[in-house]
């Protein structure tokens, strides 16, 4: 016999809540082909400890490769991926997808422009109210 007077049923599973401005909308998942393209065409490389490299494609490089015909017109999403490559093992350690961060930054850019530096500039000449 349990030592509780009443057992509550388990909670029903809920879906993930949508945050303000739909910041958590589903993105297409990075597949092996996209990762291979980032490794092949990466123009931004940062050396890390342990013989690892952080590989990225800049948006300008994506545009250039599309113009050359080496990437398809839908490959703009490759600039959102960061691949950590281990040279010693010859394998992908991790893949980070920044599409949500980029989309959220684009959504907030217009809001941030409301508080630009020019709106806080001090006027040189004082104006007379009674004239």
The pLDDT value recorded for residue 4 is 56
Domain that holds residue 66: 28-113
DSSP three-state, residue 42: coil
Q: What are 18-41's pLDDT values in tens digits?
A: 545 455 554 677 889 999 999 999
The pLDDT value recorded for residue 73 is 87
Residue with tokens 């113009």: 67
The pLDDT value recorded for residue 103 is 67
Which helix (H) or strand (E) segment holds residue 61: the answer is helix 59-68
Is 12 a domain residue? no
Is 5 a domain residue? no
Is 82 a domain residue? yes
Is 118 a domain residue? no
The pLDDT value recorded for residue 2 is 54
Is 37 a domain residue? yes
Is 69 a domain residue? yes
Q: What are 87-109's pLDDT values in tens digits?
A: 889 999 999 888 777 767 767 77
Is 3 a domain residue? no
Q: What are 41-91's pLDDT values in tens digits?
A: 999 999 999 899 999 999 999 999 999 999 998 888 898 899 999 988 999
User: How many domains are there within the chain?
Assistant: 1
User: Taking residues 115-131, what's their average pLDDT?
Assistant: 65
pTM over 0.75: no
Is 80 a domain residue? yes
The pLDDT value recorded for residue 13 is 64
């Amino acid at each position: 016999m349990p030592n509780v007077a009443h057992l509550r049923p388990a909670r029903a599973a809920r879906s993930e809540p949508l945050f303000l401005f739909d910041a958590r909308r589903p993105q297409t998942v990075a597949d092996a082909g996209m990762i291979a393209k980032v490794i092949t065409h990466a123009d931004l490389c940062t050396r890390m400890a342990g013989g690892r490299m952080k590989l990225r494609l800049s948006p300008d490089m994506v545009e250039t490769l599309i113009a050359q015909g080496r990437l398809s017109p839908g490959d703009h999403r490759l600039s959102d991926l960061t691949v950590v490559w281990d040279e010693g093992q010859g394998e992908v350690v991790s893949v980070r997808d920044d599409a949500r961060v980029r989309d959220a930054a684009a959504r907030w850019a217009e809001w941030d422009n409301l508080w630009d530096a020019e709106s806080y500039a001090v006027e040189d000449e004082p104006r007379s109210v009674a004239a």
